[in-house]
């Protein structure tokens, strides 16, 4: 969503020359001609484009917290399974003399992918529609994947992590210039978000969320994790956040991510509304591959509210800011968008009902 580009110029983890040499020696990539640092994505997970006489590849070091060997093996198994089913994603490169697709070195896990050529998200209706369709395809295909290991069942819905982050924000944000002398206003903003989160949680639980069937979900379906070409998704490129949850959590988060209207770096200038046409097109694309139920439509605005709050508060609680944007101003923008969702939830539900 909005956070991916906002953190692009902050401190980034990087590879050391010796680290690169040691890890790349484990792969048969041909004669390496050039290594270029990749500045996209999580700053905790360094990436490099490797150019050789055999083509282009992407080297990635998993961020701590997403680098448990079983977790990575599960993600790699999912990717290989999806690739065999024709799902659009970059091919994992195996290590020399074996079928393993990860390298463990000095406590870190590394993976290499083929490099997929394409472009970023241009906010086209065709791109939004296809992003929904590909998510539906993902959900349909992974239902057939069998594994002894099960990923985390903890997502953004009804989690104490969000509540704890909200509670710690007054301390973390209170140190910033934008909140100086406005502590009461900051507390009011946090309380509004806390109440909105709890209201959304209650509505989703009343709809029977805990009884809905679960499966592997992507949990990070946003434009920055996709490569587009000619108005379509050429590849989905990130599988670090797989969870075991009702698939509607992915649908709500994806609809939110592809309908957010941002703006300049100053969040005070961001409009409160979502692009309802892109929400509708995203859901139309999804339903081509995986039909959704009326119960899921009813909770979409509430789940979108939860996802919006959850994504914003974690980095602000940790650092007092959201990327390069001051935490207080960003929270005020989130408050406006949450308010819009609350006021327009019924309109959104009515728009998505089958005609």
Least confident of 57-66, 166-175, 211-220, 229-238: 166-175
Each residue's pLDDT tens digit, 148-181: 899 999 999 999 999 999 999 998 887 666 677 7
Tell me the pLDDT band of 4, cut-offs 50, 70 and 90: very low
Comparing C-alpha atoms, which of 248, 251, 255 is closest to residue 274? 255
Secondary-structure class of domain 3-114 per CATH: alpha beta
Tokens 């992915």 label which residue? 250
The mean per-residue pLDDT over the stretch 221-227 comes to: 96
Q: Can you tell me the distance from the alpha carbon of 258 to that of 133, in angstroms, rounded to the nearest whole number? A: 13
Domain boundaries for CATH 3.30.200.20 within the chain: 3-114
Tell me the CA distances in angstroms from 3 to 43, 114, 164, 323, 325, one per residue in order. 12, 26, 20, 7, 10
What mean pLDDT value characterizes the chain? 91
CB atoms closer than 10 angstroms to residue 200: 26
The structure's pTM equals 0.92
Task: Please give the share of the chain, as a percent, with pLDDT higher than 70.
Answer: 94
Residue 307's SS3 state is helix
Given the candidates 1.10.1050.10, 3.10.20.600, 3.40.50.620, 3.90.1200.10, the CATH classification of the domain at 125-352 is 3.90.1200.10
Tell me the CA distances in angstroms from 20 to 16, 47, 189, 190, 327, one per residue in order. 6, 11, 46, 44, 36
pLDDT at 21 over 80: yes
Each residue's pLDDT tens digit, 104-133: 999 999 999 999 999 999 999 999 999 999
For the CA atoms of 165, 171, 174, 175, the dihedral, rounded to the nearest 10 degrees, stands at: -110
Domain boundaries for CATH 3.90.1200.10 within the chain: 125-352
């Amino acid at each position: 969503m909005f956070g991916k580009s906002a953190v692009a110029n902050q401190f980034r983890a990087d590879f050391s020359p010796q680290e690169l040499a040691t890890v790349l020696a484990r792969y048969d990539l041909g004669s390496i001609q050039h290594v270029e640092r990749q500045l996209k994505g999580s700053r905790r997970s360094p990436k490099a484009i490797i150019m050789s006489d055999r083509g282009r590849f992407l080297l990635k070091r998993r961020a701590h917290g997403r680098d448990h060997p079983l977790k990575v093996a599960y993600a790699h198994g999912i990717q290989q399974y999806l690739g065999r089913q024709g799902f659009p994603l970059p091919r994992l490169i195996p290590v020399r003399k074996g079928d393993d697709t990860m390298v463990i070195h000095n406590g870190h896990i590394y993976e290499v992918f083929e490099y997929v050529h394409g472009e970023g998200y241009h906010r086209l209706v065709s791109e939004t529609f296809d992003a929904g369709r590909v998510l539906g395809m993902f959900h349909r295909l992974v239902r057939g994947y069998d594994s002894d290991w099960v990923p985390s069942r903890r997502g953004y819905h009804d989690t104490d992590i969000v509540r704890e982050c909200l509670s710690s924000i007054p301390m973390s944000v209170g140190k910033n210039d934008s909140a100086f002398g406005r502590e009461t206003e900051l507390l009011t903003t946090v309380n509004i978000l806390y109440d909105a989160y709890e209201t959304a949680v209650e509505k989703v639980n009343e709809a029977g969320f805990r009884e809905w069937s679960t499966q592997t979900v992507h949990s990070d379906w946003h434009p920055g994790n996709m490569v587009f070409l000619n108005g379509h998704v050429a590849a989905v490129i990130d599988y670090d956040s797989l969870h075991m949850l009702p698939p509607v959590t992915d649908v709500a988060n994806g609809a939110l991510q592809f309908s957010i209207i941002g703006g300049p770096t100053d969040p005070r200038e961001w409009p409160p509304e979502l692009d309802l046409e892109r929400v509708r097109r995203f859901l139309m694309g999804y339903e081509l591959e995986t039909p959704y139920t009326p119960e899921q439509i009813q909770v979409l605005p509430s789940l979108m509210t939860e996802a919006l709050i959850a994504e914003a508060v974690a980095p602000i609680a940790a650092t007092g800011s959201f990327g390069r944007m001051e935490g207080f101003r960003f929270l005020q923008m989130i408050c406006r968008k949450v308010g819009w969702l609350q006021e327009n939830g019924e309109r959104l539900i009515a728009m998505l009902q089958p005609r």
